[in-house]
Amino acid sequence: MLPGIGSPVSANSLYVLLKSTSIDDRRTAYLDILKDPDAYSDQILLGIDIWEKTRTQGIAALNKLIYLAAFLKKDEFIEPLKSIASDPAYTEHECIYDCPANFALAVFITSKRWTPPVQMDLDLMSDNGLSLSKTHPGIQFARSEDQELLRKTETLSEEDLILQAAPFNRDSMTRWLAAEVLSHTVTDDKNLIDLYWLALEEIDDASCQYRCAIYRAILRAEMAKAEKGN
């Protein structure tokens, strides 16, 4: 597991998670929220509602609220997530590739917390890679040094892959490689908290490759958790 850092940094850890420029403070705030998620559920709902009504909150902050909603899996999040997923002001910006709102709804499906209409179920499964391969398909690079870097990444444990994919690593290439390997190798939910942390700290790359890989890793973990009946 990634380290817990320091002590609670604010009476409102959700604000810190959304606004702080410090990775350490955001990590501490995230862990603080998970200690008492019921205390933050209404704030998450309010934040989503404010975005839909006013558009005054940035989409990056909204996506963090969406990821928290996916992790917490409370029934009251389903309708707001459905609304966001069908809002052109959101989808035209965020859903060209993998869509955070659709991902969150897919988590509810995978966790057996929600049964959507059949076609929506199929669409969400397709969009978020729920027909997942158990083996890494292989990434090919033109440069031999890049291929060697991938081979080294593939030898890492799940915990070391998470560390490499985390925002403390400033190299976006190696972060993405670790995320990509995780997306095909996660087999249980032991690191689910840290996988969601990676989503909260996603790389803002043009084709959302990092985001896509972390979604697949999380969904694999969520499926494993559901199979255990947790």
Query: Which 8-state DSSP code applies to residue 131?
Result: S
Both 165 and 220 in a single domain?
A: yes
- Write out pLDDT tens, residues 140-161: 555 677 778 888 999 999 999 9
Both 98 and 164 in a single domain?
A: no
Q: Is the alpha carbon torsion for 131, 164, 58, 53 positive or negative?
A: positive
Range of the domain at 157: 144-228
Both 100 and 50 in a single domain?
A: yes
Both 120 and 191 in a single domain?
A: no
- Residues 70, 104: Cα–Cα separation, whole Å: 5
Predicted confidence (pLDDT) at residue 128 exceeds the cutoff of 80: no
Both 122 and 42 in a single domain?
A: yes
- Residues 187, 125: Cα–Cα separation, whole Å: 18
Q: Which residue has the higher pLDDT, 208 or 124?
A: 208
Q: Of the candidates 93, 127, 161, which is a domain's last residue?
A: 127
Q: Phi-psi category of 115—alpha, beta or left, where left has phi over 0 and alpha has psi -120 to 50?
A: beta
9 backbone dihedrals φ, ψ, rounded to 5°: -95, -10
Q: Tell the burial category of 11 from Cβ atoms under 10 Å away from its Cβ (0-12, 13-18, 19+).
A: exposed
Predicted confidence (pLDDT) at residue 5 exceeds the cutoff of 70: no
181 domain residue, yes or no: yes
Question: Residue 141 has what pLDDT?
Answer: 59
Instruction: Give 208-220 as a 3 state SS string.
Output: CHHHHHHHHHHHH
136 domain residue, yes or no: no
78 domain residue, yes or no: yes
- Write out pLDDT tens, residues 30-67: 999 999 999 999 999 999 998 888 876 789 999 999 99
How far CA 78 is from CA of 66, 117, 132, 138, in Å, comes to 10, 13, 24, 36
Predicted confidence (pLDDT) at residue 134 exceeds the cutoff of 50: no
Both 116 and 46 in a single domain?
A: yes
Q: Phi-psi category of 193—alpha, beta or left, where left has phi over 0 and alpha has psi -120 to 50?
A: alpha
25 domain residue, yes or no: no
Q: Of the candidates 94, 127, 160, which is a domain's last residue?
A: 127
| SS3 label, residue 188 | coil
Both 46 and 115 in a single domain?
A: yes
Mean pLDDT, the chain, integer: 84
20 domain residue, yes or no: no
13 domain residue, yes or no: no
Both 56 and 102 in a single domain?
A: yes
What pTM does this model have? 0.86
Average pLDDT of span 4-23: 74
44 domain residue, yes or no: yes
Q: Of the candidates 101, 127, 153, which is a domain's last residue?
A: 127
Which residues, 6 or more positions from 116, have their beta carbon under 8 angstroms from its beta carbon? Answer: 105, 109, 124
- Write out pLDDT tens, residues 169-209: 999 999 999 999 999 999 999 999 999 999 999 998 878 89
> Considering its fold, how many domains does the chain have in total?
2
Question: Residue 131 has what pLDDT?
Answer: 43
149 domain residue, yes or no: yes
